Amino acid sequence: MKSIRKITGVVATMAALTLGTVLPATATANAATLEQKTFIWRGFMSAGSCTIEPGATWTLYSNGTARLDATVSSLDDDDAWLMWAHMKDSRGALLGDIQVYGSTSTKFVKNLHDRRTYRWIAKGQFDPDLFDLVKRMSLGKHC
């Protein structure tokens, strides 16, 4: 948790869908833009034989969508990385967990195989009313 870096900004709606160009926040930003908050983990995270490399990123959007971009691997065959993404306020109080997009589950799962490295892109969703309150994130994990 101590190695998380948060970045905020504004992204055009189309860019948020494709996760493309980041635009600067301006007073003239209209309803077609989404604010974003990005949380980057700077260190390795491991559980059992599974590892997420530094640079794992959760990006939250003001419309209640979220995106994970991470690189994961395992030293064993037929493993699975299980992860729960916890959103927290400025004092560290839990606001809620990100749900798997299109589901009520809060457990993100990536199947892994012996000594292969995978790029893990996952979509999530959360209550958009929480967006302004989210100041920190933490991850629950299991392999």
Convert the pLDDT of each residue in 21-78 to its tens digit.
333 343 344 456 899 999 999 999 998 888 999 999 999 999 999 999 999 998 878 8
From residue 49, give the alpha-carbon distance in Å to each of 43, 76, 110, 119: 16, 6, 13, 17
Q: Which residue has the higher pLDDT, 2 or 55?
A: 55
> pTM of the predicted model, to two decimals?
0.76
CATH number of 4-142: 2.60.40
Q: What is the mean pLDDT of the chain?
A: 82
Burial 71-99 (b: 16+ CB within 10 A, else e): ebbbeeeebebebebbbbeeeeeebebbb
